[in-house]
Structures are given as structure tokens and as C-alpha cells.
Structure 1
Amino acid sequence: MSDTELRAEFTAFDQSTEQDWELIASQLPVTQSMAAANIVEQLRMLERDHGGFPVSRLEHSLQTASRAENDGRDEEYVLCALLHDIGDTLAPYNHPSIAAGIVKPFVSEANHWMVEHHGIFQGYYFWHHLGMDRNTRDRYLDSPYYERTEEFCAKYDQTAFDPDYVSAPLSHYEPLIAACFDPASG
């Protein structure tokens, strides 16, 4: 079939038919199969920006993942460590939400919450230098994931800005990304 044969013909949802939506639903696995490659490409784009930090945003992500992996964390946790800042160059003021949206269907509630809230928890280490409340994270003290997120930032995220640290390369994590986001790869 040609590309045009695989398209619905409506111009507004209220004109669509059940057959249109069956066609569209059948294409979701095709679109999902592109996700892993798109995630890798977005991570590569982080190499272009350092945002004033001692290392590029990609190197920060690789250091965070490498530190978690070297500490014996499971693959899902390592994946979250790798992707936690993937939204830095897309939504600098709201990057945790970008990463959380990407991982949500594929990770545990605990890891999703950790990714979604890491920005506030990371603030503990520097917000006081900007006149902000470093203890803002404490509004989540009643969360069952508070300690997990606090530990993630303390052990892996806030320490991952070392130009001398030897991280695993992005290629090391590509099979992990593929296994999670491309069901056909496994």
C-alpha cells in the first residue's frame, strides 16, 4: 500500500468514521516503533547545550545513568536516570514534565513520580543561591516516593556534573531504550 492509502480522509474529527479510527489505531505500533530512535536523537541534541554547567546536558544525563547503573540500580531506574532531563532544551522551565510524560506508560509509579518531581527535589542543592526556598520539596513529605526521589537527586543527579567522570557512552544505553520503547526490538 502507498502512504496515501494508509490515511484517513476526514478533515475534522467530527467527520471521522469507525473505519478511520481502526486505521489510525492500527498505525500506533508503527509510530511507537519510531520512539526509541527519536529518544536517542533527542538525547544527542542535548550535546549541543551546556547551559553554563561544567558538562553538556547529554554528559549530565550519561553521568546520572552511569552512576545509577554502577550502583546496581535496575534497568528501569537507569533508564529514568538517563532520560530525566531529556526535556531540558525543549522546555527549560518545565523539563521534568517532558521526561515524565515520555516514561509514564513504561515505568513504575515510583519511577514516574521520581522523574516528574526531580526538579523540585534537585532545587534543594541550589535554590537558596537564587533566593528560592530549597526546602520546597518538603511539601511532598507525605509521598511514598519522597525518599526515593531525595536519594536519586543526592546520589545521582546533583553529583553528575564532573568533567573528569567517565560515563558509559550513549550507544551503551541504546539497547535499553529500544527494549523499553520499541516492542518489536525485543
Structure 2
Amino acid sequence: MKKVNFTEMKNGTKEDYQLLEKYEKNYERQTAERILKYLSAQTTTLEGYQITRLEHSLQAATRAFKNGEDEEMVVATLLHDIGDDLAPMNHSQYAASILRPYVSEKTYWIIKHHGLFQTYYSAHHLGGDRNARDKFKDHKYYEATVDFCENYDQASFDPEYKSMTLDEFSPMVRKIFSRTPYYFL
């Protein structure tokens, strides 16, 4: 494989950057496959839950699918907690940043803020403010995010629920991540 000549980016040539662009485009085309591989490995969970991270994601996405959400929202729901392992303190922002180039402003906003909105169900049990989400009460996507948490996220911890499989969602993931990005950086 051909490589660039520079050791500092400021010394890169047009040819170096054209070469990297070619490799990057190929790498970008494989994003969906890397995401699916990562999701398939989510077979553990934070101690205490009755189901794995993967099963939670599958349950939430299945609920979104059965509720008639479009493919974009189904895929976003499938990926909403993909940041749990690497970014536990800001997992929703992590997931939203992965989705952002490929989804609408609304879907991005819902996923970005679902972590805070989800505390509605637990914060008051731990001395926190369950209504912290209300600082966004006047935002145009507030109710959609409340609905996302109520219908898909908080409801998807059931070891008896019959979820769709990751293979059933794979074509949707591939379709969303093959879109021309709406947003970059």
C-alpha cells in the first residue's frame, strides 16, 4: 500500500492528500460494517441489568420499527447507546456525533439529548432533578425526545421481549450510512 511522504501534515503535498482522500473514501464506505460489527459485540452489560447492551438496542429499535418510525429513526434508535462503553458520561453526544452526518437535525437532536431526558426516570431516586430536561421545554424537539425516551429507551430492558435481530436491521444501517452526508464537521 502506498503511503504519504510527510511526517508533519504541514509538509504534505497535493499528491499526498489526494492519496489519503482515496483511502478515506474507501474507509468511509465501510462505516456501516464497522458499526454492525461493534454492535454485534455488545454482549455484556453494566452490572445489574437483566439484558445486554445489544439486546437493549435491539428492543428499542424493534419498538421504533413496530411503531412505524422511518428508517432513519429506527437506525438512530438502534445506535442511541453505542457510546456507553467508551463515553459513559456523554454517551448520547457520542452516538449523536456518529449519526450527525447522515441524519436530520431532529434525529440528531433527539439522540444527542436523550441521555439527559432519560434521567427523568431515575434522577429523583438518587437525589437528582428528574425534570432537568425541562430546560429544553420550549425547544421544537422537546416532545419528540420525551416520546423517544418513553416509547423506546426506558421501555427496552425486558428479558422476555421478542426483538428483531441485528441482521434484520443491517440493511437499514447500510442504507443510512451510504447517504451523502448532510453535514460534515
Q: What TM-score range do you get, normalising by the shorter chain? A: over 0.9
| Pick aligned residue for 2:87 from 85, 91, 99 | 91
- Contact kept, 8 Å, 1:88 with 1:95, in 2: the verdict is yes
- The residue type equivalent to 1:148 in the other structure is A
- The residue type equivalent to 1:25 in the other structure is E
SS in structure 2 at match of 1:46: coil
Partner of 2:182: none
| Pick aligned residue for 1:75 from 71, 76, 79 | 71
Higher helix share: 1
Shift of 1:50: 4.1
- The residue type equivalent to 1:165 in the other structure is Y
Shift of 1:177: 1.0
Residue 62 (structure 1) aligned with residue 49 (structure 2):
no
Runs of 4+ in 1 over 6 A off after TM superposition: none
Q: TM-score, normalised by structure 1?
A: 0.92
- Contact kept, 8 Å, 1:46 with 1:89, in 2: the verdict is no
Supply the distance in 1 between the matched residues of 2:151 and 2:176 (Cα, whole angstroms): 24
SS in structure 1 at match of 2:118: helix
1:157-177 deviations in Å (ceiling 9; x for gaps): 100001110000111111111
Supply the distance in 1 between the matched residues of 2:136 and 2:164 (Cα, whole angstroms): 33
Partner of 1:26: 22
Partner of 1:121: 117
Supply the distance in 1 between the matched residues of 2:34 and 2:146 (Cα, whole angstroms): 29
Supply the distance in 1 between the matched residues of 2:133 and 2:4 (Cα, whole angstroms): 47
Q: TM-score, normalised by structure 2?
A: 0.93
CA RMSD of aligned residues (A): 1.4
Residue 11 (structure 1) aligned with residue 7 (structure 2):
yes
- The residue type equivalent to 1:8 in the other structure is V
Supply the distance in 1 between the matched residues of 2:14 and 2:25 (Cα, whole angstroms): 18
Supply the distance in 1 between the matched residues of 2:176 and 2:70 (Cα, whole angstroms): 13
> Aligned pair count?
180
Shift of 1:82: 0.3
Residue 109 (structure 1) aligned with residue 100 (structure 2):
no
Supply the distance in 1 between the matched residues of 2:142 and 2:77 (Cα, whole angstroms): 16
SS in structure 2 at match of 1:48: coil
Supply the distance in 1 between the matched residues of 2:153 and 2:38 (Cα, whole angstroms): 19
1:5-30 deviations in Å (ceiling 9; x for gaps): 2x211111111122211221222220
Unaligned runs of 5+ in 1: none
